[in-house]
Amino acid sequence: MHRLLLCFFLLSVLSCPAAEKPNILFIAVDDLNDWEGCLGGHPQAKTPHMDRLAARGTVFLNAHCQAPLCNPSRTSLLTGLRPDTTGVYGLAPWFRTLPEFAEVVSLPQYLRQQGYHTSTTGKIYHGGYGRGKKDNEFDVLGPPSSVGVKPEHKLVDTPAKHPLVDWGVFPHEDKDKGDWQIAEWAAKELDKKPEGPFFLSIGFFLPHVPCYATQKWFDLYPEETLQLPVITPHDRADTPRFSWYMHWKLPEPRLKFLEEANQWKNLTRSYLACVSFVDAQVGKLLDALERNGFQDNTLVVLWSDHGWHIGEKEITGKNTLWDDGTHVPLIFAGPGVTSGQRCTKPAELLDIYPTLLDLAGLPPNAALEGHSLVPQLRDAATDRPWPAITTHNHDNHGVRSEHWRYIRYADGSEELYDHRKDPNEWTNVAADPANAAIIADHRKWIPAVSRKPAPGSAHRILLYENGKVNWEGEDVPEGAKIPEYDD
């Protein structure tokens, strides 16, 4: 009798229709900081569709990336492994070229193994990674990521002359942009009413540079009323010199250039315009979910790979361990997620993989280094014992708890900020003896051992060995002038 009951139970489980698993809409936005209405990073940001998603789900107000650079951040999220585990810190290598990690089961791969039909379009992995036939990630490959139409000549003469580091408005149409095209493709996929469960991943390129917008989006942010990011003069006076090595020679210009070239407002306006344009593309996806009857049985997660500075800490771009470089939007909505919640507990992009498995009722993947956010998705006030840990290059770490940010660089120098008093991270209080216990409590989360950069590491690689700083394969002389800052 017991054997008969067991057989009946197993047959009933195996015959459960696949549609009982929720669909998953996975939305990535490249280089998107916290300039959304629901996060309040910029008081004038207009993002009605991301805000509507947040209203019907839970938005994490204190979510942070694992690395403030595209490839290591996305590699970490999609593999569930920290950068100091894989040694992937730069824009190369692709983790599947590393023998130790070649067979790691990524999030889309795991879902595919569990019966999900997986599709992708745009930028999910960095560059073209993950789009090869041998990767076994996706059943369907939609259009790849692209900038779309470009002006005949660069609009802004930046110091580094990099062709992608550009911004502004020029005559073109929204339909000419790569992000418009991938949103159209994804919406049409949903209009086909695919049988579940499906995993549809969409990776938007903007507001990554070049920040080109059409005039209609520029007009949302009139120059005469535009608010610039709030900064304080000489903000780097109390930060260690090593903080400059994190972005030693990069194509993204310093604040000094923006001010001297009268480009600060133009970049701010361009970035906001691109954010609003991408928000409209997100709206297309949400509308397609609703009109096809998928809203109630589809988990939606929206995230960005890292933040972006627009003058804060006297720089532009990423590659930092401050909130401006690590703070990202992270929104969940759908079955199992309480609506209208705003969670202040620290969260990591690393947590997305285990959270989706948990919400979907799938077996956990024991190899993952993140933690499910389901307790907070049910009740945002639920305590969370882990901080958010960000790593940039070998042995540089930031630890973000609910009220504090702690940074330790490879040379041992430190920063500490009290977010209850100093949300802009203007005053480094690491040297105050009264904060010794706070530093000790945060320092314990720093990895005891960090893997050296993986073979094939390239682009934005920083090393510190035997008291010497090495940037991109070249030693930095002691006391060298800070590029584009001391000049």
Q: Tell me the average pLDDT across 163-178.
A: 98
Given a cut of 90, is residue 406 above it in pLDDT?
yes
Write the secondary structure of the chain as one string of H (helix), E (strand) and C (coil): CHHHHHHHHHHHHHCCCHHHCCEEEEEEECCCCCCCCCCCCCCCCCCHHHHHHHHCEEEECCEECCCCCHHHHHHHHHHCCCHHHHCCCCCECCHHHCCCCCCCCCHHHHHHHCCCEEEEEECCCCCCCCCCHHHCCCCEEEEECCCECCCCCCCCCCCCCCCCCCEEECCCCHHHEHHHHHHHHHHHHHHCCCCCCEEEEEEECCCCCCEEECHHHHCCCCHHHCCCCCCCCCCCCCCCCHHHHCCCCCCCCEHHHHHHCCCHHHHHHHHHHHHHHHHHHHHHHHHHHHHCCCHHHEEEEEEECCCCEECHHHEEECCCCCHHHHECCEEEECCCCCCCEEECCCEEHHHHHHHHHHHCCCCCCCCCCCCCCHHHHHCCCCCCCCCEEEECCCCCEEEECCCEEEEECCCCCEEEEECCCCCCCCCCCCCCHHHHHHHHHHHCCCCCCCCCCCCCCECCCEEEECCEEEECCEEECCCCCCCCCCC
Instruction: Please give the Cα distance from 183 to 370 (Å, whole number).
Output: 29
Given a cut of 50, is residue 220 above it in pLDDT?
yes
Task: Evaluate whether 389 touches 445 at the Cβ level (below 8 Å).
Answer: yes
Given a cut of 70, is residue 439 above it in pLDDT?
yes
Residue 20: pLDDT band (50, 70, 90) is: confident
Given a cut of 70, is residue 19 above it in pLDDT?
no
Q: Which tens digit of pLDDT belongs to each residue from 306-341?
A: 999 999 999 999 999 999 999 999 999 999 999 999
Give the pLDDT of residue 485: 87
Instruction: Please give the Cα distance from 148 to 366 (Å, whole number).
Output: 40
**Hey, where are the domains in the chain?**
20-380
Residue 482: pLDDT band (50, 70, 90) is: very high
CB atoms within 10 A of CB 377: 23
Q: Which residue has the tokens 């005469």?
A: 224
Q: Tell me the average pLDDT across 380-384.
A: 98
Give the pLDDT of residue 376: 99
Extract the tokens encoding 356.
């989706």
Residue 134: pLDDT band (50, 70, 90) is: low
Given a cut of 50, is residue 159 above it in pLDDT?
yes
Please, what sign has the CA dihedral across residues 163, 167, 173, 179? positive
Q: Which tens digit of pLDDT belongs to each residue from 52-100?
A: 999 999 999 999 999 999 999 999 999 999 999 999 999 999 999 999 9
Q: Which of 42, 49, 64, 126 is catalytic?
A: 126
**Percent with pLDDT over 70 in the chain:** 95
> How much is the mean pLDDT over the chain?
95
Q: Tell me the average pLDDT across 9-18.
A: 37
Q: Tell me the average pLDDT across 157-172.
A: 97
Extract the tokens encoding 245.
């090595």
Task: Evaluate whether 86 touches 454 at the Cβ level (below 8 Å).
Answer: yes
Residue 105: pLDDT band (50, 70, 90) is: very high
Give the pLDDT of residue 131: 76
The residue among 287, 400, 281, 299 whose CA lies nearest residue 29 is 281
Extract the tokens encoding 310.
């627009």
Given a cut of 80, is residue 18 above it in pLDDT?
no
Q: Which residue has the tokens 């979510």?
A: 63
Give the pLDDT of residue 7: 39
Extract the tokens encoding 101.
């990690």
Give the pLDDT of residue 133: 61
Task: Evaluate whether 134 touches 173 at the Cβ level (below 8 Å).
Answer: no
Q: Which tens digit of pLDDT belongs to each residue from 111-125?
A: 999 999 999 999 999
Residue 135: pLDDT band (50, 70, 90) is: low
Give the pLDDT of residue 8: 34
Given a cut of 60, is residue 383 above it in pLDDT?
yes
Residue 17: pLDDT band (50, 70, 90) is: very low
Instruction: Please give the Cα distance from 222 to 224 (Å, whole number).
Output: 6
Q: Tell me the average pLDDT across 134-160.
A: 93
Given a cut of 50, is residue 1 above it in pLDDT?
no
Residues pairing with 303 in the sheet: 28, 330
Q: Is 211 a catalytic residue?
A: no
Q: Is 70 a catalytic residue?
A: yes
CATH 3.40.720.10 fits 20-380, yes or no: yes
Give the pLDDT of residue 109: 97
Q: Which of 38, 65, 70, 343 is catalytic?
A: 70
Q: Which residue has the tokens 């993989």?
A: 353
Please, what sign has the CA dihedral across residues 263, 266, 272, 278? negative
Q: Tell me the average pLDDT across 6-18.
A: 37
The type of residue at 192 is K
